[in-house]
Structure 1
Amino acid sequence: MFKHILFVCIGNICRSPSAEVMMRDALAGRGIEVTSAGLGALVNHGIDATAQELLVERGLDGSAHRARQVTPQILSAADLVLVMEKKHLKRIMEIAPEASGKSFLLGKWNEDCEIPDPYRQQRPAFEHVYRLMAEGVESWKRYV
């Protein structure tokens, strides 16, 4: 049973906080903590404006988010770590090898789909990434 799900990307201002909010909503009422962190976090920055806009359009809100740097302790506290790209898995193995067995792509159940970074791109890139994350969240729901 998963009690704590951690999403990881690079800056912790676009993908991982959006996926965090989406998963928290999808698992509401189940007593599962959902958090996020970044491998190269823009510490204390809020969620990207375009990412927040897409969440709000779907009745969600990431405005309380503040980016944080992933640490071995944060990885250790999670029961499941979901990342956006294969290179994130490799980096987690370097930071905390013991977390490798509980770290997977968000797109694992969607043919190991990687979710590209939309940072500093136009809204269509964010919309594409949002769709991929929504599919990933939906596919993981049955396993958590």
Structure 2
Amino acid sequence: MFRKILFVCVGNICRSPTAELLMRRRLQGRSNVEVSSAGLQALVGRPVDPQAATLLRENGIDPDSHVARQATPSVLVAADLVLVMEQSHHARIVREVPQVSGKTFLLGKWRGQQEIPDPYRQHREAFQHVYRLIDDCVDSWVPYIK
């Protein structure tokens, strides 16, 4: 049973907050599940990247409450499920916090181990592509969140 879901990327301003907010929308009405995000090298205190924020708003999601935070060992351990964007994120987390290895997976696990590329400092098209990937991968996890 997953009560605390944590999405992890690098800066915690593009991919992981997008996944967090999309999952929250999918799980709306399920007050027993806490969804959050963090970054391996978080731009602590920063809001969602402007490009990502624009896409979220265009899809009816308000990103303004997000503040980037670091994926510390205690944050990782507190989660029941840790979903990362790339294999390198998984490898780093497992190396640095081995006790979370059994609950850390690619967000794209159910999509053929799909990795989610980093759109940071790229054009809108890259952000749109990443948004679609995240949206699909988040959707693929919903049946497993009880």
Q: How does the TM-score come out when normalised to structure 2?
A: 0.97
CA–CA distance in 2 between the matches of 1:95 and 1:26?
31
SS of the residue aligned with 1:136?
helix
The residue aligned with 1:56 is: 57
1:112-139 residue CA offsets vs partner (Å, 9 max, x unmatched): 0000000000000000000000010100
SS of the residue aligned with 1:142?
helix
SS of the residue aligned with 2:6?
strand
1:18-54 residue CA offsets vs partner (Å, 9 max, x unmatched): 1000001101111210000000000000000110110
Moved over 4 A (4+): none
**Is it true that 1:24 corresponds to 2:35 in the alignment?**
no
Gaps of 5+ in 1: none
SS of the residue aligned with 1:109?
helix
The residue aligned with 2:119 is: 118
CA–CA distance in 2 between the matches of 1:32 and 1:50?
28
Correspondence list, 1:84-99, <5 A: 84-99=85-100
The residue aligned with 1:65 is: 66
CA–CA distance in 1 between the matches of 2:91 and 2:59?
32
Paired residues of 1:71 and 1:95 also in contact (CA < 8 A) = no
Correspondence list, 1:100-139, <5 A: 100-139=101-140
Displacement of 1:96 in angstroms is 0.9
In the alignment, residue 73 of structure 1 is paired with which amino acid? S
Q: How many residues align?
A: 144
CA–CA distance in 1 between the matches of 2:55 and 2:108?
20
CA–CA distance in 1 between the matches of 2:78 and 2:121?
31
Q: How does the TM-score come out when normalised to structure 1?
A: 0.98
The residue aligned with 2:43 is: 42
* Percent identity over paired residues: 60
CA–CA distance in 2 between the matches of 1:86 and 1:48?
23
In the alignment, residue 108 of structure 2 is paired with which amino acid? G
